[in-house]
């Protein structure tokens, strides 16, 4: 799926597992950070395949290389970023499955050049996704010289939240 700086390559979706689990691979371009967000319905397990990927979940922060893994439990605000100077990749195991379809629908909005923030907000709400305030990552953005999350990176909610 074409999501700027942070694509989504479905390895298998929840239809193959009766809804139990899905797996998605995400490339991380240099300088990319996801908006802070939390999932209300699923837990995510991220495994670094290439590069150095930073993770913040709640008050915990770590940078992992290939083979490193982290749990991002439902209900915990989290974000991920490319902490290195080469492209990175992670695979995410999502339990229960179903959330992978968010990426498919988000890609569709981006390809259609959707600019109405309500479309992104409605999509996030449909999947039980809530975005946090971007200020939560100011120190990480400065430390790793990252591009702040912007409108369309993952959701229109990011920009709306920043304006609140």
Q: Supply the pLDDT for residue 151.
A: 44
Q: Which domain holds residue 28?
A: 9-158
Q: Supply the pLDDT for residue 5.
A: 62
In a domain, 13, yes or no: yes
Q: What is the pLDDT of residues 140-150, one digit of tens each?
A: 999 999 987 75
CATH number for 101: 2.60.120.10
The total number of structural domains in the chain stands at 1
Measured from the Cβ of residue 61, the count of other Cβ atoms closer than 10 Å reads 13
Would you say residue 161 has pLDDT above 80?
no
Residue among 81, 98, 101 nearest 90 (CA) = 81
Measured distance CA(70)–CA(58) in Å, rounded: 13
Strands (E), 15-153: 22-28, 37-39, 43-50, 53-57, 60-64, 69-72, 78-82, 88-95, 129-131
Give the whole-number percent of the chain exceeding pLDDT 90: 69
Average pLDDT, stretch 46-61? 95
Q: What is the pTM of this model?
A: 0.86
């Amino acid at each position: 799926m074409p999501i700027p700086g942070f694509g989504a390559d479905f390895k298998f979706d929840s239809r193959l597992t009766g809804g139990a689990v899905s797996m998605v691979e995400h490339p991380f371009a240099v300088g990319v950070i996801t908006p802070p967000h939390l999932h209300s319905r699923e837990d995510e397990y991220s495994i670094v395949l290439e590069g150095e990927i930073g993770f913040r979940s709640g008050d915990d922060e770590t940078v992992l290389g290939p083979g490193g893994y982290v749990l991002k439990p439902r209900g915990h605000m989290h974000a991920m970023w490319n902490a290195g100077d080469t492209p990175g990749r992670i695979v995410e195991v999502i339990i229960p499955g179903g959330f992978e379809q968010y990426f498919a629908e988000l890609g569709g909005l981006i390809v259609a050049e959707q600019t109405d923030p309500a479309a992104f907000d409605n999509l996030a709400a449909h999947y039980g996704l809530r975005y946090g305030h971007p200020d939560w990552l100011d120190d990480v953005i400065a430390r790793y010289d990252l591009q702040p999350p912007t409108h369309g990176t993952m959701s229109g909610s990011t920009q709306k939240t920043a304006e609140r």
